Amino acid sequence: MSGESVKADNSATLRVGVRHAILDTAGVVHDTILRNSVVFLYYTLEDAVDNNNLILYKLTDSTGSAMFYKLDSLSYTVRVQNGVLGNKIQSINTPHQSIVNMVITY
C-alpha cells in the first residue's frame, strides 16, 4: 500500500454487480447479468493491472453479484474477468460504515 496510513476498521461492504449490455439495431438495450465472472480486489490500479498483491477474489453469483464484507475504509481497485468478454478495471472508495454498490458493465 506504499506508505498509506490505514485504519483497520472492517466496517465497509462492497457489492460488485457485473452485467453485459447490448444496444440492438432498434435502439433497445438488452441487459444481462453475468454469472461466474471472477471479481478481484486490489489496493491499487497498478496492482490490478500487474495482477500483484491480490486482497480477495470471488465469483459472481446467480444475480451477477460478488460481495466483499468487513473491508477497511479505503480506496480499492476491482478487476473483473469474464471468460468471453475479457477484463474490466475500475476503482472505488469504501467510506467508514458504508455499503457501496459498484456496477461493471461490458
Task: Report the alpha-carbon distance of residue 17 to residue 5 in Å, rounded.
Answer: 29
pLDDT in tens, 70-96: 999 999 999 999 999 999 999 999 999
What is the chain's length? 106
pLDDT at 2: 46
Q: Which residues pair with 9 in a beta bridge?
A: none
pLDDT in tens, 41-65: 999 999 999 999 999 999 999 999 9
pLDDT in tens, 8-40: 789 999 999 999 999 999 999 999 999 999 999
Q: What does the block give as the cell for 8?
A: 483497520
Check: CB of residue 81 under 8 Å from CB of residue 38: yes
**Residue 5 pLDDT level (bands cut at 50, 70, 90):** very low
Strand boundaries in 52-105, DSSP class E: 56-59, 65-71, 75-82, 86-93, 99-105
